[in-house]
Amino acid sequence: MSKIRLVDANAMSERCERLIEASSDDYIIGVLQMVESFIDAQPTLDIKSAAEKEGEWIKEATLCRCSECGDLWGIVHGFKYCPTCGAKMKGVF
Ligand SMILES: [Zn+2]
C-alpha cells in the first residue's frame, strides 16, 4: 500500500471540465464525467483533526469498522489511515 496522498480535488475536477469542453468524442466525455463524479464523491478530510485522530480497524464478519467514525469498509488490508475520517490506524491488517 502506498502512502496516502493529499490532492487538490477541485483542481482535478476543473481539469476534467476543461477536457470535457474540449472534447467532441461522446465516449471520452462519458469517461471524463465518470471520473469527475468519482473525484467529487471522495470524502473531504479535515487535516488538522485527522492528524490528531488515532483509531483501529474493528473486524465485523467480512468487514472492518473504523473505531473513530464508524464507517464500514470491505477491504482495509494495508490501510494505515481511514479513508473516511483520516484517522491513523493502529494494528493495520
Ligand atoms: Zn474513520
In a domain, 14, yes or no: yes
Helix (H, G, I), strand (E, B) or coil at 40: helix
Q: Are residues 54 and 77 in the same domain?
A: yes
How many A from CA of 15 to the centre of ligand 1?
A: 29
Task: Specify if 61 maps to a domain.
Answer: yes
Task: Please give the backbone phi and psi of residue 63, each rounded to the nearest 5 degrees, phi first.
Answer: -110, 165
Against a cut of 0.85, is the pTM above it?
A: no
Question: How far is the centre of ligand 1, averaged over its atoms, from the C-alpha of 57 (Å)?
Answer: 9
Residues 74 and 60 in one domain: yes
Q: Which domain holds residue 65?
A: 47-90
The Å distance, Cα 29 to ligand 1 centre, comes to 33
92 Cα: distance to centroid of ligand 1 (angstroms):
13
Q: How many angstroms does the Cα of residue 71 sit away from the middle of ligand 1?
A: 6
In a domain, 1, yes or no: no
In this structure, is residue 55 part of a structural domain? yes
Contact call for residues 23 and 36 (beta carbons, < 8 A): no
Q: How many folded domains does the chain comprise?
A: 2
Give the position of cell 488490508. Answer: 77
Residue 3 lies in a domain: no
Q: What is the pLDDT of residues 34-88, one digit of tens each?
A: 999 999 888 787 777 667 889 999 988 888 899 999 999 887 677 888 888 888 8
